[in-house]
């Protein structure tokens, strides 16, 4: 979260999707609040089980930088993506 905004990035080499969520905040411990919110949104609105793994956590000056890896079934994205980009399918 960047002051209420999410930045979503990823790589096709990992889980064929965009499973990484980099966040930064000036509020200590905010990442755990964000993880709970993301998990609840997945459960309530998408009926999807989501697990979040913290890949890295760094503190610099007054900012906490965290990279989370999202583990979930992403079949809808996969089928749509590979229809347009079949060369990336394993």
> How do the domains of the chain map onto residue ranges?
20-88
Judged by DSSP in three states, 79 sits in helix
Categorize the per-residue pLDDT at 17 as very low, low, confident or very high, splitting at 50, 70 and 90: low
pTM equals 0.66
Mean pLDDT over the full length of the chain: 78
Which class is domain 20-88? alpha beta
d(CA 42, CA 74): 11
Question: What is the tens place of the pLDDT at every residue in 28-50?
Answer: 889 999 999 999 999 999 888 99
């Amino acid at each position: 979260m960047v002051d209420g905004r999410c930045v979503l990035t990823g790589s096709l080499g990992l889980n064929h999707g965009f499973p990484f969520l980099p966040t930064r905040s000036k509020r200590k411990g905010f990442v755990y609040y964000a993880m709970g919110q993301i998990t609840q949104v997945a459960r309530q609105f998408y009926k999807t089980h989501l697990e979040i793994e913290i890949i890295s956590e760094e503190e610099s000056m007054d900012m906490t930088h965290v990279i989370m890896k999202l583990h979930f079934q992403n079949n809808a994205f996969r089928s749509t993506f590979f229809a347009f980009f079949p060369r990336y399918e394993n």
